[in-house]
Structure formats: structure tokens, C-alpha cells
């Protein structure tokens, strides 16, 4: 408890004092070490009530607006002072320690399995972790829920600053509050009634994949969960409005739903609701994957075969993204019909004796080229070929989908090969471990996010050392 109070006090000095308006945050002069956390709150929440109570009376709308725009506005405004970050929203939230994947309780996975959900949290996180996304970052509360937001005269007051994080996707707090209000067991519901059909139907409607593109419509006003629907829809509209790419808010909600499975306390119905949360996550990963099909440019290469000479190989290329490997004794080059449809043939040299060369890896029969292929002139196509997948750089990036590989297992091996105070390139480590450089690079970035490793900057971004 002492540690938590100390943390809260530090966070208070660093974040609340400067950014949260006076009267909408605890006003602390000295931390009361050794005391119950409630003491930090003091008397300033007099005549206030939890947001949770207002939400259940369907009266939370003005308080939610006040919370996001006024109380937390000073943090959230910082997101717009810089360019959006690029990468996976899920990885950013794990990096901020909003989700601790090692703490997920296996019982929910087993329960979900009985409902024919075969995607484990690891698979879901892995899929979502590969998305190339864009998001704005700002300090976040980190654990926003219906009981640590108090409301007085429609003004929202946050009373718990122990989990504040320096930087998280702008959608993280909205998703936290939305999922808590949707999935938390209200005290008036019978905690031993396992499954509530009305709640399940409303959750299915609110969590349908299309509800993350356009906010879901209103719920039947006589439904007993109309209040839940109203507050979720309000937060959903805010989430969709601030996201920086079409999958950001959905991914943030997926993380927050998994996060609820870090605890297994509570009665049967509560645990059922958490399992339901996992079940709702299946479609998110799938939909994120489907998006690539909607795009017109190829997202994978088509290996047409091998040839000895270039003119022979060139005849085998018919469609954008077609690839032929020229092999004459040794590997010579890769011919490729430019994937952007400009009809040019690209020649990627594999022979180190003939100037700048690329490395071709053919494990599991799928081509990987390292480094990226960049046409300097002409159409300027720039892309990565990785296990047969084609990942675009600079344009068409939104539909990029990275191939499947064992990120966590590779991370452990990469960690062992790192040295202290000596940066090693992903390329060098990949050669040593006989792995694909793109994957060693991803594993290194994961280690950096988990603070187990550090990386260089600029041209040495893919160079890693022990933290
Ligand atoms: Zn081209």
C-alpha cells in the first residue's frame, strides 16, 4: 500500500498539479504514508458521487464530456503537439504496461474455448501486434473506471492517480472507461445468474465490427441496459473521432477487454462477462486482417518459379507482384513485376560480387528479401518482402499485414544474444541465429518496449543492446 501511495503522490506532483484543473483532482500537500489510500482523497469529494451511479441512472453524459474535455483535457491536448506515432496500438499499450499479458488468467481462455473461440489472447495479441497503425500519444490515466471518477454538479473529478502513464495512445482511457461500464457487473444484477440474455444481445450489438466504423444506433429505451448502451455509444463516438487510423479504437478496446481477464475474483456472472469479453475479440483480429483484401495493390508476392537467365525468367512474369528467382549455380537475382502496377520489371541483385546485394531467404518455401526493395527512379515503389507477404513503405501502408512467426520465442533467443553497452544490428543477430532479419528486428523492438533492451537511433534503430 505504501508504494502505491508514494507512486500516486509522485504522479500527482508530475501530472495532476500542472494539467488537471484545481477542484477536479485531489488537492494534496503531503502524502500520508502508511495510511489507507482513501486518505489521499480527503474531503474534497464531499457532495460527489461515483460516475458508475450516474451512468446506471442514464445521467452520465455531461460528466463524461467534462471528464474527457475538461478534467483530462490538459493531458489529451499534448497529443496534438507532435506527429502521430506509427506502429501497433496493442504494442504501445503493452509497452505502457496498461496490459500485462503474463497476468492473463488461463481460466478465461479455457472457458472461451468451450464457446468455440480458438483464438487465445496470445494469438489475438500477436495478430493485433502486427498491425501497422497510427495513433497519437499523451499521458493517460491508465485505469479509468466508473468508481474512480466522481461527479459533482456535472464536473468530473478523478481520484485515483496511481496508474498514470507518461504516454499511451489517445484512445486508451476512452476504451478503458467504455469496457468497464459495459462489462462491470452492476450491484443490482444477481451475481449468481450466470448469463443474462438481454445483456449478451446488447453487447453483441455494441461490439459488432461495424460498430467500430460507425457508432451503433440507440438501444430500445425500455431495455434494462439502455443506460449501458447510452454511455458506451457516447464513448465510442469520442473514440472514433480521435483515432488516427481506422483500427485504433477497436484495438484499444480489445486490449482493455483482455485486461479485465487479469483478475479472476468476483462471482460467476462477473467471470462469465470477462469470458464474453474474449469471445468478442475474435472478430476484431479477423476484421483487421480482412482489410488487406479491400485494397487494390498486392499484399503478397507470387513466386512463379526459378530460371537460369533473365529473358527466360521475364517471360514467366504476368501480374504485378509476380516473382522469379534467377539461379545459375548460385543465386543471381530476383525478378519482379513491379507490384504497384506500373508494368516495370524490377531486378534485385543477390550476388555480392556484383555490387549492392540483397539476401534471399526461402524458408517454408516463401521468399524473404532483406533489406527493403526501393526503386529510386520511375514509380519509386518501396516495399518489404517477408515470408511471401508484401509490406508497403511510404504508401498503401494502412493495409500492411505482417506474417506469422513466433515473436515471443524469438524474443527470448534474441535477448540471450544481446550484449551490454554494445549495440548489435538485427542483421548480425539474424545471421548468428539463422533467423529472418525483419523478425529479429521486431523481436528487438518488443524487448525495447518491455524495457529489457535498448536500441540505437537514426540508422541504428535496428541495433540492440541489453538494457
Ligand atoms: Zn512500379
At 422, which CATH number?
1.10.10.10
pLDDT at 35: 45
Does residue 402 sit within a domain?
no
Indicate yes or no: pTM above 0.75.
no
- Distance from residue 430's CA to the centre of ligand 1 (Å): 30
- Distance from residue 395's CA to the centre of ligand 1 (Å): 12
Residues 340 and 227 in one domain: no
Does residue 401 sit within a domain?
no
In the listed set 293, 311, 331, which residue is the last one of a domain according to the structure? 293
In the listed set 345, 366, 395, which residue is the last one of a domain according to the structure? 395
Does residue 120 sit within a domain?
yes
pLDDT at 267: 67
- Cα–Cα distance, 438 to 11 (Å, whole number): 37
Does residue 400 sit within a domain?
no
pLDDT at 288: 40
pLDDT at 68: 96
pLDDT at 17: 79
- Cα–Cα distance, 284 to 275 (Å, whole number): 16
Domain that includes residue 366, residue range: 302-395
- Distance from residue 388's CA to the centre of ligand 1 (Å): 18
Q: What is the pLDDT of residues 176-223, one digit of tens each?
A: 999 999 988 888 887 777 678 888 888 888 887 778 878 888 888 888
Q: What is the pLDDT of residues 30-62, one digit of tens each?
A: 555 444 444 455 555 668 899 999 999 999 999
Identify residues whose C-beta is under 5 A from ligand 1, the ion: 338, 340, 342, 379, 381
Does residue 382 sit within a domain?
yes
Grid cell 529479429 is found at 440
- Cα–Cα distance, 379 to 344 (Å, whole number): 9
Residues 158 and 40 in one domain: yes
pLDDT at 45: 65
Does residue 428 sit within a domain?
yes
- Distance from residue 333's CA to the centre of ligand 1 (Å): 18
- Distance from residue 341's CA to the centre of ligand 1 (Å): 6
Residues 204 and 149 in one domain: yes
Residues 278 and 131 in one domain: yes
Residues 411 and 384 in one domain: no
Residues 158 and 230 in one domain: yes
Residues 40 and 177 in one domain: yes
- 42 grid coordinates: 480527503
- Distance from residue 197's CA to the centre of ligand 1 (Å): 54
Residues 289 and 308 in one domain: no
pLDDT at 109: 66
- Distance from residue 302's CA to the centre of ligand 1 (Å): 16
- Distance from residue 347's CA to the centre of ligand 1 (Å): 12
In the listed set 395, 426, 444, which residue is the last one of a domain according to the structure? 395
Residue 260's φ and ψ, nearest 5 degrees, are -65, -20
pLDDT at 117: 56
- Residues in the chain predicted with pLDDT less than 50, given as ranges, are 1, 33-39, 282-295
pLDDT at 220: 86
Residues 48 and 154 in one domain: yes
pLDDT at 90: 94
Residues 260 and 365 in one domain: no
- Distance from residue 380's CA to the centre of ligand 1 (Å): 7
- Cα–Cα distance, 97 to 373 (Å, whole number): 35
pLDDT at 437: 96
Residues 332 and 214 in one domain: no
- Distance from residue 120's CA to the centre of ligand 1 (Å): 39
- Cα–Cα distance, 25 to 391 (Å, whole number): 45
- Distance from residue 392's CA to the centre of ligand 1 (Å): 12
How many domains are there within the chain?
3
Residues 86 and 221 in one domain: yes
Neighbours of 420 (CB within 10 A): 8
Does residue 223 sit within a domain?
yes
- Distance from residue 339's CA to the centre of ligand 1 (Å): 6
Domain containing 262 — which CATH number? 3.90.1200
Amino acid at each position: 500500500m505504501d508504494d502505491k501511495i508514494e507512486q500516486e503522490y509522485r504522479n500527482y506532483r508530475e501530472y495532476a498539479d500542472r494539467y488537471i484543473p484545481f477542484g477536479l483532482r485531489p488537492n494534496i500537500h503531503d502524502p500520508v504514508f502508511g495510511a489507507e489510500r482513501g486518505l489521499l482523497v480527503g474531503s474534497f469529494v464531499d457532495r460527489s458521487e461515483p460516475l458508475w451511479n450516474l451512468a446506471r441512472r442514464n445521467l452520465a453524459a455531461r460528466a463524461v464530456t467534462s471528464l474527457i474535455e475538461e478534467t483530462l483535457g490538459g493531458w489529451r491536448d499534448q497529443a496534438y503537439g507532435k506527429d502521430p506515432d506509427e506502429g501497433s496500438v496493442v504494442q504501445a499499450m503493452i509497452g505502457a504496461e496498461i496490459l500485462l499479458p503474463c497476468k492473463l488468467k488461463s481460466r478465461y481462455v479455457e472457458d472461451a474455448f468451450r464457446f468455440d473461440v480458438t483464438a487465445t489472447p496470445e494469438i489475438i495479441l500477436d495478430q493485433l501486434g502486427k498491425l501497422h497503425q497510427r495513433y497519437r500519444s499523451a499521458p493517460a490515466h491508465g485505469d479509468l473506471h466508473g468508481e474512480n471518477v466522481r461527479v459533482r454538479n456535472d464536473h468530473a473529478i478523478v481520484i485515483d492517480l496511481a496508474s498514470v502513464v507518461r504516454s499511451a495512445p489517445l484512445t486508451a482511457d476512452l476504451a478503458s472507461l467504455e469496457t468497464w461500464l459495459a462489462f462491470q457487473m452492476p450491484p443490482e444484477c444477481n451475481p449468481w445468474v450466470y448469463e443474462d440474455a438481454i445483456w449478451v444481445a446488447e453487447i453483441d450489438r455494441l461490439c459488432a465490427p461495424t460498430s467500430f466504423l460507425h457508432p451503433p444506433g440507440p438501444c430500445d429505451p425500455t431495455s434494462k441496459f439502455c443506460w449501458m448502451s447510452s454511455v458506451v455509444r457516447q464513448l465510442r463516438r469520442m473514440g472514433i473521432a480521435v483515432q488516427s487510423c481506422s483500427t485504433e479504437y477497436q484495438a484499444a478496446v480489445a486490449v482493455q477487454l483482455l485486461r479485465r481477464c487479469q483478475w479472476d475474483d468476483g462471482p460467476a456472472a462477473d467471470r462469465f462477462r470477462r469470458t464474453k469479453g474474449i469471445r468478442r475479440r475474435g472478430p476484431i483480429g479477423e476484421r483487421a486482417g480482412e482489410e488487406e483484401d479491400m485494397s487494390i495493390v498486392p499484399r503478397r508476392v507470387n513466386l512463379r518459379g526459378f530460371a537460369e537467365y533473365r529473358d527466360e525468367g521475364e517471360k514467366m512474369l504476368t501480374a504485378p507482384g509476380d516473382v522469379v528467382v534467377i539461379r545459375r549455380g548460385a543465386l543471381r537475382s530476383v525478378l519482379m513485376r513491379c507490384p504497384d502496377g506500373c508494368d516495370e520489371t524490377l531486378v534485385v541483385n543477390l550476388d555480392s560480387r556484383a555490387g549492392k546485394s540483397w539476401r534471399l531467404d526461402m524458408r517454408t518455401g516463401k521468399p524473404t528479401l532483406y533489406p527493403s526493395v526501393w526503386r529510386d527512379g520511375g514509380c519509386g515503389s518501396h516495399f518489404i518482402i517477408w515470408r511471401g507477404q508484401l509490406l508497403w513503405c511510404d504508401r498503401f501502408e494502412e493495409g500492411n499485414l505482417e506474417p506469422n512467426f513466433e515473436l515471443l520465442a524469438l524474443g527470448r533467443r534474441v535477448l540471450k544474444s544481446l550484449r551490454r553497452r554494445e549495440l548489435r544490428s538485427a542483421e548480425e543477430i539474424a545471421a548468428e541465429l539463422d533467423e529472418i532479419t525483419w523478425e529479429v528486428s521486431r523481436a528487438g523492438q518488443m524487448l525495447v518496449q518491455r524495457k529489457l533492451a535498448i536500441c540505437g537511433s537514426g540508422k541504428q534503430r535496428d541495433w540492440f543492446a541489453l538494457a
